[in-house]
Amino acid sequence: MKKNILDLTKEELQQEVSPKFRAQQIFGWIYQKGAKAFEAMSNLPKKLRQELAERFEIAIPKILNVETSRDGSKKYLLGLRDGHTVEAVLLPMKKEEKDAEGNVVKEARYTVCVSSQVGCKVGCEFCLTAKGGFVRNLTPGEIVGQVLAIKQDNDIPANRRVNVVYMGMGEPLDNLENVAKAIKIFADEHGLSISPRRQTISTSGLAPKIEKLGKMDLGVLLAISLHAVDDELREKLMPINKAYNIESVIEAVKRFPIDQRKRVMFEYLMIKDLNDDLKSAKKLVKLLNGIKAKVNLIYFNPYPGSPFQRPDKERVKAFQKYLLDKGVLCTIRESKGLDISAACGQLKERSKEAVDGNPV
């Protein structure tokens, strides 16, 4: 199989072509002009175009299926070169606004929720992705390609910057090397120009990897899937907690470099009669002491056969009020029993929050 050119950072591509500025041109063709073939890259010498075509492919994931939700979000099923599939979701954040003459005064804003693995090793009790087990890591190009495919499918202008959240299938920090490369490729000024501050990594709490990501100092935002405030319950919900307990995750977050204007998001999945009581809220406030945090409460979204239930609205409201009264930023996200199904679709509300909570 030919190499996928989307897997390369611009620096890596510069090693492959000469002179170096050809790499910028190629990036521009692929990410800004939407070129599907090297032949179309008309300002490159013919010989170079031929050489590139012999060695590389521009392998953008194939759109196999799209489900559109009532609120306008679209869930994509994407096919990879080896036949495996992943999901990604396009979330319209703000609608386009026009003045009386019909001129666009505010552009529409979008977030794309991307997958980082086919399946997941972490095996959380409540997660649909976990049920299928782990298949493989995505390459950097397969991550970047999800955004490229979705932007093109929706005719989102090439220069329109979108936000990216790593909240689809998989645990991004279990594929850190490729995710870090994807972050850089996304950010490239000759490519999609998605600054790391518009990219949010969501993790189940791989403490040493949080530290490693922090040391890389890429400037990305962080979201922690906490879901429980004591180790006993968290172990039951998320087996990863046996390896990295709550304290170790919190300590890693405290050392994580985060932009002064931004916050670390804590996702808290509310499950009926398990973690929706005020005692848990009190513990949560204590845990987050000293962290510039924002909590996002999510209603557990039951799926057929799921062992848990959706909590009562009053309980969620009371939980939120407790946090707010103690000065902890907290929002509630309804997963509206979405009319689009399955894992990544359930995550879309969260993905919105990641970006709303950190205006860029």
Pick from 68, 80, 52, 69: nearest CA to 149: 80
Among residues 127, 171, 344, 349, which one is catalytic?
Answer: 344
Does 276 engage in binding with ligand SAH (CB under 6 A)? no
Applying CB under 6 A, does 300 fall inside the site for ligand SAH? yes
Separation between Cα atoms, residue 217 and residue 188, nearest integer Å: 16
Indicate whether 130 belongs to the interface with ligand SF4 (CB under 6 A).
Answer: yes
Instruction: Lay out the site mask for ligand SAH across 159-188 (x = CB under 6 A, - = otherwise).
Output: --------x---x-----------------
Q: Which positions ≥6 away from 349 have C-beta within 8 Å?
A: 298, 333, 334, 335, 336
Tell me which of ligand SAH, ligand SF4, none is bound by residue 322, counting a contact when its beta carbon lies within the kind-specific cut-off of 5 to 8 angstroms.
none
Nearest distance, CB of residue 174 and ligand SAH, angstroms: 8
CA 139 to CA 175: how far, in whole Å? 9
How far is it, in rounded angstroms, from Cα 64 to Cα 77?
Answer: 5
Does residue 344 carry a catalytic annotation?
yes
Interface with ligand SAH (CB under 6 A), residue total 17
The DSSP letter of residue 9 is -
User: CB-based contacts of 251: which residues, under 8 Å, 6+ apart?
Assistant: 207
Which residue among 60, 347, 354, 355 contacts ligand SAH (CB under 6 A)? 347
Written as six digits, the tokens of 327 are 């000065």
Q: Is 358 in the site for ligand SF4 (CB under 6 A)?
A: no
Within 8 A by CB and 6+ apart from 164, the residues are 111, 112, 114, 147, 186, 194, 198, 199, 200
Q: Does 296 bind ligand SAH (CB under 6 A)?
A: no
Q: How far is the CB of 39 from ligand SF4 (least distance, A)?
A: 39
Applying CB under 6 A, the residues found at the interface with ligand SAH are: 126-127, 167, 171, 202-204, 225, 267, 269, 298, 300-301, 335, 346-347, 350
- Catalytic residues, by residue number, are 87, 344
Applying CB under 6 A, the residues found at the interface with ligand SF4 are: 120, 122-124, 127, 129-130, 170-171, 204, 225
